[in-house]
């Protein structure tokens, strides 16, 4: 009887149709609106925004004319190598003397002005025609300006163009203290380098012109005010970041 009485009592009560039902607290709605706004802004930035795109490559500092190898023109014994690494030579200067099996000694001259980087042949050594004997850096001058040669992978080279900004890390230079060496892409080789690893496309050489300055000890522009307090040397290995331009964030998804 008690349960039946409660049921009848409940039936006599009017339904509270005009009572407001609270679906969520005000703080909850604020959080929902914030999430929606942030999501919308991220979507707009993803399509209309831009972020820098860079690639890293290794390379070498040197003079614009590059390196050549002076080779033996005949088989025979090396009589004399009158130059040493670091020697500055002029075009036509004798740099190697070979005594063939028959005939007079042969004097081999430097094909251009430059600096001797290394000597691969020693007096008394037997050489054959085409043997690499001396490495010569052409165009060396005490007051000359260095360039950077970078070796870019085949999948990146289509995006490299002249005048792109390059920031270079030099071994022995504290980048936190002195910054990075500044330059710009000057030329992109038309063809990749010969050889390369098996099953891998050979890289392409890219020449970077360094920004020069009369106000720094090195003679070049750095991302810091003065850069290091010493000069740069040719044949120094380097790593560099090339700024390939900017891309929308959405285009980089999955790339």
The pLDDT tens digits for 207-243 are 999 999 999 999 999 999 889 998 898 889 999 999 9
Question: Nearest Cα to 72, choosing from 53, 90, 47, 99?
Answer: 99
pLDDT reading at 53 higher than 60:
yes
> Tokens for 136?
């010569």
Distances (CA, A) of 173 to 61, 77, 135: 14, 44, 27
Q: Is 101 in the same domain as 191?
A: no
Taking CA 235 as the corner, what is the angle to CA 232 and CA 236, rounded to the nearest 5 degrees? Answer: 55
Question: Nearest Cα to 127, choosing from 154, 89, 97?
Answer: 97
Q: H or E segment at 77?
A: strand 76-80
Residue owning tokens 């030329």: 187
- CA 1, CA 3: separation in Å to the nearest integer? 6
Predicted confidence band of residue 140 (pLDDT cuts 50, 70, 90)? confident
Q: Indicate whether 34 belongs to any domain.
A: no
- CA 124, CA 121: separation in Å to the nearest integer? 9
More confident residue, 138 or 29: 138
Predicted confidence band of residue 138 (pLDDT cuts 50, 70, 90)? confident
Comparing 12-21, 100-109, 231-240, the range with the smallest average pLDDT is 12-21
Work out the number of other CB atoms within 10 angstroms of the CB of residue 136. 25
- CA 149, CA 210: separation in Å to the nearest integer? 11
Q: Is 219 in the same domain as 152?
A: yes
Q: Is 116 in the same domain as 180?
A: no
pLDDT at 7: 57
Predicted confidence band of residue 63 (pLDDT cuts 50, 70, 90)? confident
Number of domains in the chain: 2
> Tokens for 254?
């999955």
Q: What is the pTM of this model?
A: 0.65
Q: Indicate whether 79 belongs to any domain.
A: yes
* Domain span holding position 166: 52-63+145-251
CATH number, position 162: 2.40.30.170
Q: H or E segment at 243?
A: strand 237-247
Predicted confidence band of residue 98 (pLDDT cuts 50, 70, 90)? very high
Q: Is 124 in the same domain as 171?
A: no
3-state secondary structure of 143: coil
Residues 110-117, mean pLDDT to the nearest whole number = 90
Q: Is 129 in the same domain as 150?
A: no
DSSP state of 209: E
**Of 109, 138, 167, which residue sits at a domain end?**
138
The pLDDT tens digits for 142-169 are 667 899 999 999 889 999 999 999 999 9
- CA 70, CA 67: separation in Å to the nearest integer? 10
pLDDT at 39: 76
Predicted confidence band of residue 77 (pLDDT cuts 50, 70, 90)? very high
Which strand ranges, in their side-by-side order, compose the sheet holding 114-119? Answer: 67-71, 132-138, 114-119, 88-89
pLDDT at 195: 63
- CA 8, CA 175: separation in Å to the nearest integer? 87
More confident residue, 16 or 106: 106
Strand duo 147-152 + 51-62: pairing: antiparallel
Cα dihedral 170, 172, 176, 180, rounded to 10, equals -20
pLDDT at 131: 92
Q: Is 80 in the same domain as 199?
A: no
pLDDT reading at 249 higher than 60:
no
Q: Indicate whether 14 belongs to any domain.
A: no
- CA 177, CA 172: separation in Å to the nearest integer? 12
pLDDT reading at 202 higher than 70:
yes
Question: Do residues 134 and 120 lie in contact, with contact meaning Cβ atoms separated by under 8 Å?
Answer: yes
Q: Is 134 in the same domain as 93?
A: yes
pLDDT reading at 193 higher than 60:
yes
């Amino acid at each position: 009887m008690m349960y039946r009485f409660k049921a009848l009592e409940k039936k006599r009560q009017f339904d509270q149709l005009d009572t407001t039902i609270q679906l969520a607290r005000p703080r909850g709605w604020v959080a929902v609106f914030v999430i929606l706004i942030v999501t919308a802004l991220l979507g707009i930035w993803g399509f209309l925004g831009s972020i820098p795109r860079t690639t890293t490559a290794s390379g070498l500092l040197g003079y614009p004319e590059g390196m050549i190898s002076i080779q033996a023109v005949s088989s025979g014994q090396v009589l004399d190598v009158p130059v040493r690494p670091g020697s500055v030579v002029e075009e036509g200067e004798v740099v190697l003397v070979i005594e063939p099996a028959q005939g007079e000694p042969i004097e081999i001259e430097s094909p251009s002005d430059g600096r001797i980087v290394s000597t691969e042949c020693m007096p008394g050594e037997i050489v054959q025609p085409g043997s690499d004997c001396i490495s010569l850096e052409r165009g060396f001058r005490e007051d000359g300006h260095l360039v950077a040669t970078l070796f870019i992978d085949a999948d990146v080279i289509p995006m490299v163009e002249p005048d792109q900004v390059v920031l270079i890390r030099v071994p022995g230079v504290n980048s936190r203290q002195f910054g990075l060496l500044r330059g710009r892409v000057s030329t992109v080789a038309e063809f990749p380098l010969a050889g390369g690893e098996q099953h891998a496309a050979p890289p392409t050489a890219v020449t970077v012109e360094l920004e020069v300055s009369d106000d720094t000890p090195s003679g070049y522009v750095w991302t810091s005010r003065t850069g290091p307090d010493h000069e740069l040397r040719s044949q120094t290995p380097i790593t560099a970041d090339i700024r390939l331009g900017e891309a929308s964030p959405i285009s980089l998804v999955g790339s």
